[in-house]
Each structure stands twice: as C-alpha cells, then as structure tokens.
Amino acid sequence: MEHEDFLTAEHEAEQSVYFQLGKLSTAFAQVEEGVHDLIVELSDGDDIVIIHLIENNSLENNLKLLSKINKYRKYRHQEMSDMIRLIRKVKELRNRLIHGRWTKPFVTPNNVSITVLQSKVEEDIDGEIIGYFHKTQHDYLLSDLVNAIIEIENIFLMQEKLLEPLRKRKNEKPLRESWSVD
C-alpha cells in the first residue's frame, strides 16, 4: 500500500468512526426521550407538569422511576423490564464512548479500531489530588459501534411498540376541562 493510499484509508477510517459515534449519540438521545414519553404516558397526569418534574433527572433516575411506576401500573411488565435492562446495558457502552478519551482511530487488517480511555483523579482523605491515572481502557472495532447502534434502534422500536397503545388510549379519553382563572 502506498503512503498516499494509506493516508486516504486512515482518513476514511477516522470519518467512519466519528460518523458512527454521531449516529450512536443521536439514536441514544431518542431512546432517552422514549423513556420520558413512557413516564408521561404511564403517569396519567398533566404532561407538562410531569415533563418538568423529570427533565433534569439522570437517565438512571428516570429508569428507576419508570420501573416504579410500572410496578403500580403493571403495563406489559416483562417487555418493560426487558427494555429497561437493555437500556442499562447499552448505556454503559454509550457513556464510555461519549465521555471517554479516544485515541485516533486506526486501520487494522480487516476493520477500524478505536481505544477509549477512562481516567480518574485519585484524592486523599482531605481531598488533595495525589494522582491521575487511566482507570480503564477499552478497544472497539467499527463493527462494535454499528452493532451498538442496531441495539439502540431495536430498543427504540420496543419503546414505540409500548407507547402506541398508551397514546391511542390517551387520544380516546375525553379532553379534560382546561384550567382557567376567571
């Protein structure tokens, strides 16, 4: 392989990794929004108030809340539990990829690879910094990113399947009297 061809392949590999990371981030944001939607639909209250109550929660807090609400509602319990478990699984990978420090993607014989480092500052009992080290290192192939995106898209489809009857039920209910101050 000539030097110029290698640089082109290296550049294309980099662009592929960054493109897939962007897709992963965007797809995961849709799943997070789906969790919000499920909380709103299962809460059966004022949507705007509920959204304000949950909008600044971490995803983990919203997953716990959704699980608690569903213990009460008992709506498709197994499907909901499976979906929550899958979100937690893919959330770890997503967080590692989005919040970790990446090395420059590199071309391997049959794929593209990227290393993600997670660093940690070590403090003593008084809060003084005593060291900085790499806590973990994970190596990923481009195909790992693509597979994660497929998992996330499947979770999104699960959410849509869970939301459809809830939205339909909500639309069939008579509209509440609007609140007004006279």
DSSP 151-170: HHHHHHHHHHHHHHHHHHHH
pTM for the full predicted model: 0.78
Would you say residue 132 lies in a domain? Answer: no
Whether residue 157 is predicted with pLDDT greater than 50 in this model: the reply is: yes
Would you say residue 133 lies in a domain? Answer: no
> What is the pLDDT confidence band of residue 105, given thresholds at 50, 70 and 90?
confident
- What's the pLDDT at 56? 86
Q: Bigger pLDDT: 51 or 146?
A: 146
Torsion of CA 49, 50, 53, 58, to 10 degrees: -150
- What's the pLDDT at 181? 36
Q: Which residue range forms the structural domain that includes residue 46?
A: 3-100+143-172
- What's the pLDDT at 35? 95
Q: Bigger pLDDT: 150 or 46?
A: 150
- What's the pLDDT at 51? 82
Q: At what angle do helices 59-73 and 3-43 cross, to 10 degrees?
A: 40
- What's the pLDDT at 173? 56
**Residue 101 to residue 68: CA distance in whole angstroms:** 35
> What is the pLDDT confidence band of residue 175, given thresholds at 50, 70 and 90?
very low
Whether residue 50 is predicted with pLDDT greater than 60 in this model: the reply is: yes
Would you say residue 127 lies in a domain? Answer: no
Q: What is the mean pLDDT of residues 140-166?
A: 94
Would you say residue 110 lies in a domain? Answer: no
Would you say residue 106 lies in a domain? Answer: no
Would you say residue 160 lies in a domain? Answer: yes
**Residue 65 to residue 72: CA distance in whole angstroms:** 11
Tally of structural domains, the chain: 1
Whether residue 67 is predicted with pLDDT greater than 50 in this model: the reply is: yes
